[in-house]
Amino acid sequence: MKLFSPDSAHWYQRDGVPLHTVPSLKGEPRPTTLRDARKLGLLPSVTNILGVIAKPELTAWLQEQAVMAALTLPRNPGESEDDFAKRVVADSQTTRDSAADFGTAFHAGAERIAHTLEVDRADLLSSWLNRYRDWYQANALVLRWTEKVLVHPEWGYAGTADLLIEHPVHGLTLVDLKTMKIKPGEKAKPYKSWCYQLAAYRRALGEPVRCMNLIVNSVEPSAPIEHVWTEDEMETGWRAFVAAHAVFAHAGFAGDEFDQAVEEAELMAVRQ
């Protein structure tokens, strides 16, 4: 009985064009698989590579969701154990999927603001997006770009970064938006993996920028929270990404082109 399937990964062509789906035998789009990526010589995303790092807090939370679903989901008359187990898994993933949907919708609204400063009043997230627009107008003195694919050909990875702006305090700043649930009375706690992700983006960008996570509370509309990573944290973040990069390659997640890129990048790192 197969209950869990790995989430679809993001892949890029070497020129930075996203190839997250490919045509199926029926001509319909389907998620790009590891086999496709190897065949086409695609680059893994930064999040693909960081996926090899264990996330104990997330794992514990997912387990809690599964246990609660098993305890609270009523059994259907005559339902087999296999069918019930599959419904438990589907029910436990509802909260996770809702959080992902919120994040996707917010990013789309934020991109629109960067281009037009407009918020659709009919958008279910308009209250959150209005708060974000307030932040954007006060802090994005100049927009360099938004939603740009960054490629590091030597290290063999790519990823889509959210914003590069001129910030009134921090100067040229690479901003990555994060949505998370912040309970009343609690403070936002950025994950270290966010720093690793920004460190990889900054290396691919190749410019001396400050790096910031802008945290949006998905529980209730409020002003976004800036978290600027120190240079020491960014250097540590890059070393962590390099370690994850090596594990990703040597564990067999990538093809020959990626392995060659790893060897070349490791030599470059030694020379530096």
Q: What is the per-residue pLDDT across 64-105, written as a single tens digit (0 to 9) for each?
A: 877 888 888 888 888 888 888 888 777 776 655 566 788 999
Query: Which of 166, 259, 262 lies closest to 212 in space, CA to CA?
Result: 166
Residue 258 has pLDDT above 80, yes or no: no
User: Do the Cβ atoms of 21 and 32 come closer than 8 Å?
Assistant: yes
Confidence of residue 252 (pLDDT cuts 50, 70, 90): low
User: Do the Cβ atoms of 157 and 248 come closer than 8 Å?
Assistant: no
Query: Whole-number mean pLDDT of the chain?
Result: 86
Helix 94-116 and helix 56-72: axis angle, to 10°? 130
* Residue linked to tokens 């589907």: 90
Backbone CA torsion sign across 148, 211, 99, 21: positive
Pick the range with the lowest mean pLDDT from 42-51, 67-76, 236-245.
67-76
66, 200, 204 from 195: Cα distances, Å = 29, 9, 14
pTM of the entire structure? 0.82
- The phi and psi torsions of 188 (rounded to 5 degrees) equal -65, 135
Query: Which of 52, 25, 20 lies closest to 247 in space, CA to CA?
Result: 52
Give the CA radius of gyration of the chain. Answer: 20
- Residue 192's contacts (CB-CB under 8 Å, 6 or more residues apart) are 237, 240
Burial class (CB in 10 A: 0-12, 13-18, 19+), 70: middle
